[in-house]
């Protein structure tokens, strides 16, 4: 079963987009979805449709002359405009938590209620607490607006839960650095990093132990049981190929994921993973090669980065090795492909 996203989250995103001046029906029409598809609040759309939703939002922001800020950071604006119901039962469970750390743990535990393939982690190392989200993709990296929405929600929700005007130690984003960072600086007021493996927020670890004003152990226990029941109703979200492709996509952003590393993350011995892939007619090296090809096409067409940087992001030790691989895939050099794109 493919990864899916809650209709309630889609509704919240479209409402926020409408608040920022975009036409929700127009966005749905671009996805070939009727407004009636949102009437089933327990329904879900595919991850691919969710990515297309953000792409449609981005395209309509670029084309519009609406009352948006000059920076065009629509994902940040939408997060600010979003209503509390965006988080649904997950939000209620987080609000009833004893402290921010416990709230983040619930976010990790119940995130599949919103998006079955989204990879959340929460960890504390020394004086730093770190909450992350990697957006799954079997081909293209997520767009800027989706990453902005994720990062902004991390910060805004933390401020709402604690009642403090929290300033992160650092914010990290999977997407590339925008030309205008004024909206980022205004909202986050912290150091920023782009082209990261995950979207992340880093906080002073002392902050996550502060009691939350709405902490309610009894209500928290009830909401936990309800959330667990909802999780149990969700179908299995990923096939083996989906899982391997997702991990390759995440690992290739500046790394070189090995068969052993991928197998370990999936709970298999390397030989077992290779055998399972052979059973479905492929191999680790074939999937790696295909993922590199797809990502290279995206980077060369869409990202304003040097060919040497593309080679690094795809895990090639030398630019010349990337040139040879790309010519094998496409029949032309990376430079020739970029000029003709």
pLDDT tens, position by position, 138-192? 455 568 899 999 999 999 999 999 999 999 999 999 888 998 899 999 999 999 9
What's the maximum distance between 2 C-alpha atoms anywhere in the chain? 64
- Give the pLDDT of residue 65: 38
- Give the pLDDT of residue 226: 93
Mean pLDDT, range 298-319, rounded to an integer: 86
Q: What is the CATH number of the domain that holds 204?
A: 3.90.1520
For residues 119 and 224, membership in a common domain is answered with yes
For residues 319 and 226, membership in a common domain is answered with no
Domain final residue, candidates 181, 209, 230: 230
Spatial contact of 142 and 135, defined as CB atoms under 8 Å apart: yes
Q: How crowded is residue 145: how many other Cβ atoms within 10 Å of its Cβ?
A: 25
For residues 216 and 70, membership in a common domain is answered with yes
For residues 171 and 198, membership in a common domain is answered with yes
Residue 38 lies in a domain: yes
Q: Which residue has the tokens 């309610």?
A: 216
Residue 152 lies in a domain: yes
For residues 224 and 245, membership in a common domain is answered with no
For residues 10 and 154, membership in a common domain is answered with yes
Parent domain of 244: 240-340
**pLDDT tens digits, 6-27:** 999 999 999 999 998 899 999 9
Mean pLDDT, range 281-287, rounded to an integer: 89
Name the β-bridge partners of 43: none
Domain final residue, candidates 230, 262, 294: 230
Among 112-116, 137-141, 244-248, 276-280, which is the least confidently predicted range?
137-141
| φ, ψ at 5 (rounded to 5°) | -130, 140
pLDDT at residue 70 tops 60: no
For residues 176 and 64, membership in a common domain is answered with yes
For residues 117 and 187, membership in a common domain is answered with yes
Domain final residue, candidates 164, 196, 230: 230
Residue 139 lies in a domain: yes
- Mean pLDDT of the chain, nearest integer: 86
- Give the pLDDT of residue 68: 44
For residues 225 and 251, membership in a common domain is answered with no
Measuring CA to CA, which residue among 278, 315, 270 is closest to residue 295?
315
Total count of domains within the chain:
2
For residues 144 and 21, membership in a common domain is answered with yes
Distance (Å, whole) CA 99 – CA 305? 41
Among 60-74, 204-218, 227-241, which is the least confidently predicted range?
60-74
Residue 325 lies in a domain: yes
Residue 268 lies in a domain: yes
Measuring CA to CA, which residue among 152, 128, 125 is closest to residue 20?
152
For residues 79 and 196, membership in a common domain is answered with yes
Residue 140 lies in a domain: yes
Mean pLDDT, range 201-212, rounded to an integer: 94
Tokens of 307: 């060919």
Alpha-carbon separation of residue 290 from 95, 106, 249, 322, 336 (angstroms): 43, 36, 10, 13, 20
SS3 of the chain: the string is CCCEEEHHHHHHHHHHHHHCCCCHHHHHHHCCCCHHHHCCCCCEEEHHHHHHHHHHHHHHHHHCCCCCCCCCCHHHHHHHHCCHHHHHHHHHHHHCCCEHHHHHHHHHHHHHHCECCCEEEEEEECCEEEEEEECCCCCCCCCHHHHHHHHHHHHHHHHHHHCCCCCCCEEECCCCCCCCCHHHHHHHCCCEECCCCCEEEEEEHHHHHCECCCCCHHHHHHHHHHHHHHHHHCCCCCCHHHHHHHHHHHHCCCCCCCHHHHHHHHCCCHHHHHHHHHHCCCCHHHHHHHHHHHHHHHHHHHCCCCHHHHHHHCCCCCHHHHHHHHHHHHCCCHHHHHHHC
Alpha-carbon separation of residue 219 from 89, 161, 206, 215, 226 (angstroms): 12, 16, 25, 9, 11
List, in order, residues 6 or more apart from 11 with CB less than 8 Å away: 38, 41
Residue 235 lies in a domain: no
Mean pLDDT, range 241-268, rounded to an integer: 83
- Give the pLDDT of residue 140: 54
Distance (Å, whole) CA 95 – CA 231? 19
- Give the pLDDT of residue 39: 85
Tokens of 175: 């997407």
């Amino acid at each position: 079963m493919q990864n899916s996203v809650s209709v309630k989250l889609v509704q919240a995103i479209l409402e926020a987009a409408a608040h920022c001046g975009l036409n929700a029906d127009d966005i749905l029409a671009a996805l070939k979805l009727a407004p009636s598809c949102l009437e089933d609040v327990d329904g879900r759309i595919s991850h691919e449709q969710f990515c297309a939703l953000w792409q449609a939002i981005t395209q309509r922001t670029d084309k519009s002359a609406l009352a948006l800020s000059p920076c065009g950071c629509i994902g940040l604006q939408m997060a600010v405009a979003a209503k509390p119901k965006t988080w649904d039962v997950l939000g209620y469970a987080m609000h009833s938590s004893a402290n921010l750390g416990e709230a983040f743990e619930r976010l990790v535990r119940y995130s599949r209620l919103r998006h079955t393939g989204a990879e959340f982690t929460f960890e504390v190392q020394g004086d730093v607490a770190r909450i992350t989200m990697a957006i799954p993709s079997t081909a293209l990296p997520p767009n800027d607006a989706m990453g902005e929405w994720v990062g902004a929600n991390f910060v805004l929700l933390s401020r709402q839960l604690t009642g403090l005007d929290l300033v992160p130690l650092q914010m990290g984003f999977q997407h590339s650095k925008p030309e205008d960072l004024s909206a980022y600086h205004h909202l986050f007021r912290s150091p920023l990093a782009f082209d990261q493996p995950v979207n992340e927020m880093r906080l002073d670890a002392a902050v996550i132990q502060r009691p939350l004003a709405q902490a309610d152990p009894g209500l928290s226990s009830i909401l936990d049981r309800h959330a667990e029941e909802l999780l149990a109703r969700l179908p299995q979200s990923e096939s083996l190929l989906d899982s391997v492709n997702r991990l390759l996509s995440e690992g290739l952003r500046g790394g070189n994921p090995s068969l052993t590393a991928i197998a370990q993350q999936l709970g298999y011995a390397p030989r077992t993973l290779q055998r399972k892939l052979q059973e479905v007619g492929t191999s680790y090296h074939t999937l790696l090669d295909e993922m590199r090809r797809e990502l290279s096409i995206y980077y060369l067409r869409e990202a304003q980065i040097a060919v040497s940087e593309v080679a690094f992001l795809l895990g090639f030790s030398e630019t010349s090795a990337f040139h040879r691989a790309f010519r094998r895939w496409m029949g032309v050099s990376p430079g020739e492909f970029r000029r003709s794109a």
